[in-house]
Amino acid sequence: MKRSIYVLATQSNSGKTILVTALLRLVNRKNRVAVPFKAQNMSLNSYPAFNGGEVALAQAMQAYAAGVKPIVEMNPILLKPVNEAASEVIVLGKPMGLMEYREYSRNPIDKWRIVRDSLLRLRSLGLIIGEGAGSAYEPNIKGDVANFRPADYLNADVYIVLDISRGGAFTSALGLYNAIPGRWRDLIKGFVINRFRGDPRILGDAVKWLEEKTGKGIYGIIPEVNEARYLWPEDSEAMVDFGNGSVDVAVVSYPGISNFHEFSVLTMEDAHVRFVKWPDSLGEPDLLVLPGAKNTALAMEWLRRSGLDEKVRRMAGSTPILAICGGFQLITDMMSDPTGIEFGNPGHIKGLGLVKAQVTYHSDKIVAHSRAIMNDKLVTGYEIRRGRVRYTGDEPGMVIVERNGNPVNEPDGYFNEDGRIFATSLHDILSNPHVRELVLKMAKGSVKVNSYSSIEVLMHWIDEVARVVNNNITMDL
């Protein structure tokens, strides 16, 4: 039986997720079944698993790359930061509550049993290609279940990714190798150099030095892959502007912005998408987007502190506004969190007041692949939210009719053609070509859109990245 593959790194944001995604796609092309795995992920970006609950967005993307459906075992522990001190802890797709780091590290949750059982389930499905979290070894982290321990359990071939663009790649590789126990060194198959610019021949002496010091080979020198920016992101470090089309789309990047991957579908359209982090850079866009937010109280506080709240109010009626999930909640009159599960503390927050409605956050969370009816047309998307909307004057713009295959009848969203506002609780709403056309027409008048879905666009970019990776590695898949 082929040994599992585990990709680790010496530091965060080294390209583990991108490499694992490419490897899964390459194995899938060989008509073999492989599945992704990340024991513990910290990310605000998540996705509904097909066996219930939520999974980190990166592992959902990797599942699609592998040709399988995302399930919670692919990411059994997910930490979603609520503020600087606490995170929402998700175990096997289900929320366990808010915890600070010390509380989480001392919690009686048997993290290793959860990870081990997930590995057993996945191993029955196919070859596991997993990734670690952050740096593969830190002496201050006790009981790490995300890096070498699962690799050791699987007796996997471990490859260490070295991000050469940030310097110190070779010495950090040697530092990691010398720091870990001997049994873990035996797992290491070799190293992969990532994000290299220039002629690989200039690395000759450094490659020889590392190979002599560790006895491990270099299995690839991968160049900077520009197309990787279009893949689904794990965190906000991947948030970069894209496109050079005529429709200027400004996405407001408030604290806790989440699931901004859904705008990647616009890479195939006549659009330029930019993320606005400062009020002065807002300008006069053709379309203003208020995206998802993990903590709408923090997002609203930032909007007010920056002065963007007044700018958004002034733009309403002239500049089209697309508000999704947390963004939709922000434009209502009032948001109430009686338990503190959303805000971090119980309280009430005034919204932007563009929609006559109020939001109440419940302890139970809606996590679903959903269908809705809008203007007599079916639209699809997904929901990950605690907020429930109660209309106090305005009318809903759609009705959600199905969640995870089960019939429901829940009013949602808001559509005002005169006020030029389109709001919804459904993420990935732009995956629907007719919705994409409606939104872009609001922004620019007559436009022609492509027929691609968001998954089709994602697979296109995964194939582009996999092609580059395949041309620059010597790993035996």
Per the CB < 8 A criterion, the answer to whether 403 and 366 are in contact is: yes
Active site residue 348: no
Catalytic residue among 369, 427, 434, 460: 427
Which residues contact residue 209 at a Cβ distance below 8 angstroms, ignoring those fewer than 6 apart?
A: 170
Helix-helix angle 454-470:57-66, to 10 degrees? 70
The number of helices, as runs of H, and strands, as runs of E, in the chain is 13, 26
Per the CB < 8 A criterion, the answer to whether 7 and 37 are in contact is: no
Measured CA to CA, the distance from residue 319 to residue 287 in angstroms comes to: 6
Would you give the DSSP letter of residue 220? E
Catalytic residue among 261, 272, 325, 369: 325
Q: Starting at the edge strand that comes first in sequence, how are the strands of the sheet with 94-100 ordered?
A: 40-42, 77-81, 86-91, 94-100
Question: Any idea how long the chain is?
Answer: 477
**Number of CB atoms found within 10 A of residue 441's CB:** 15
Measured CA to CA, the distance from residue 439 to residue 433 in angstroms comes to: 10
Active site residue 325: yes
Measured in Å, how far apart are the chain's first and last C-alpha atoms?
Answer: 13
Per-residue CA distances from 465 to 2, 23, 210 (Å): 24, 10, 27
Per-residue CA distances from 324 to 17, 219, 421, 425 (Å): 26, 42, 11, 6
Per the CB < 8 A criterion, the answer to whether 225 and 463 are in contact is: no
Give CB contacts under 8 A, 24+ apart, made by 253-256.
253/277, 254/293, 254/298, 254/299, 254/302, 254/303, 255/293, 255/295, 255/298, 255/299, 255/302, 256/44, 256/81, 256/82, 256/293, 256/294, 256/295, 256/298, 256/299, 256/326
Catalytically active residues, by annotation: 325, 427
